[in-house]
Amino acid sequence: MSSLLTLVAQRLALGILLLFAVSIVIFAGTQILPGDVAQSILGQSATPEALANLRRDLGLNDPAHIRYLNWLGGLLTGDLGTALSNGADIGKSIGRRLYNTLFLASVAAVVSVPLAILLGLLAVRYRNRWPDKLISAATLASISLPEFFIGYVLIYFVAVQLGWFPSVATVYDSMSFWQRLSAVALPAATLTLVVLAHMMRMTRAAILNVMQSAYIETAELKGLSGFDIIRKHAFPNAVAPIVNVVMLNLAYLVVGVVVVEVIFVYPGMGQYLVDHVAKRDVPVVQACGLIFAAFYIGLNLVADIVAIVSNPRLRHPK
């Protein structure tokens, strides 16, 4: 048990260290962008005196390491800064946007994760038969199509031709849960189709790898049915790689929603980031980038810990 706790503590420390390194990369990346932040805010008609005053107010005249430490200190105290474009508090602006993004990602995850595991189990159960070939062909086609293409196809057929769901995913506070669910149906379906194929194929590969083990042959010799062998023996021993794949795709559902949110004009973190990239609002870009990185690192950290805990050799050391 002590070795298990040590490994978990090491993974947590590594995750914190990695997030710190990512914060340096994000800050450095936004600082080396071409152009002048003060000039983009005040416009081309700004006087040199106005530009100099704004640079002083924004702290742009300070050394880079001083600006980074000030930014990092604000993050540690919960202060994400102020948007340059409108003077709004970034933390308050991101709060609602983050909720919208997490709601969209949660809807896609609730549909895609169980469906991917079920399809993976069916593909293994009917390996090299028509259900396996049909599922593999469909998922391969889904992987080959970019999410913006899938989104526009769904908009044309489902929203325009059939009129089942709105093409613009507009949500607001007074909407009920079912109204909000209807509004995000198409973007959630797009995300589901994007991540479903990868999770299903990796689930199938992980279970097939376990099916080659000696204890699977023993179970077959005992006369167990193919479904019982997969359910009782193969799937539990393939949990670790499956969890890793699921967590990676859940991270994508949060981090990779930028394109989908822009297509459906969904008021989430991705749309918020794109809007302020166009305005060259550096504090907003830094805050959004760090939040995305924190979710990605956190979900991968959960996958590592689950893989460690699910290892019986670590749970029950000799």
Neighbours of 199 (CB within 10 A): 23
SS3 212: coil
Question: How confident is the chain (318 residues) per 10-residue block, as mean pLDDT?
Answer: 72 85 82 64 66 67 74 77 73 81 85 82 77 79 78 83 79 78 84 81 74 65 65 64 74 76 82 77 81 84 74 55
Q: Which residues of 127-145 are buried (b: 16+ CB within 10 A; e: fewer)?
A: eeeeebeebbeebeebeee
Query: Phi and psi of 82, rounded to 5°?
Result: -120, 135
SS3 40: helix
* Residue 52 is assigned to a structural domain of this protein: no
pLDDT of residue 312: 58
Reference 180, options 274, 99, 292, 91; nearest CA is 99
Which pTM does this prediction carry? 0.75
* Residue 184 is assigned to a structural domain of this protein: yes
* Residue 101 is assigned to a structural domain of this protein: no
Residue 45 is classified by DSSP as T
* Residue 164 is assigned to a structural domain of this protein: yes
Q: What range defines the domain where residue 165 resides?
A: 106-280
pLDDT of residue 194: 80
Q: Which residues of 231-261 are buried (b: 16+ CB within 10 A; e: fewer)?
A: eebbbebbebbbbbbbbbbbbbbbbbbbbbb
* Residue 250 is assigned to a structural domain of this protein: yes
Distance, in Å, from the CA atom of 97 to the CA atom of 111, rounded to the nearest integer, reads 22
Distance, in Å, from the CA atom of 127 to the CA atom of 46, rounded to the nearest integer, reads 68
Reference 111, options 193, 7, 14, 221; nearest CA is 193
What is the torsional sign of CA 264, 144, 206, 217?
positive
**On the CB side of 189, how many CA atoms lie within 13 Å of its CA?**
21
Rounded to 10°, the helix 2-31/282-309 angle is 160
* Residue 198 is assigned to a structural domain of this protein: yes
What is the torsional sign of CA 17, 23, 28, 33?
positive
Following DSSP, what letter does each residue of 35-93 receive, concatenated?
A: S-HHHHHH-TT--HHHHHHHHHHHTTTS-HHHHHHHHHHHHHTT---B-TTT--BHHHH
Look up the CATH number of the domain holding residue 110: 1.10.3720.10
235, 165 contact by CB (below 8 A): no
* Residue 8 is assigned to a structural domain of this protein: no
* Residue 243 is assigned to a structural domain of this protein: yes
Number of domains in the chain: 1
pLDDT of residue 222: 66
pLDDT of residue 35: 62
Query: Phi and psi of 102, rounded to 5°?
Result: -65, -35
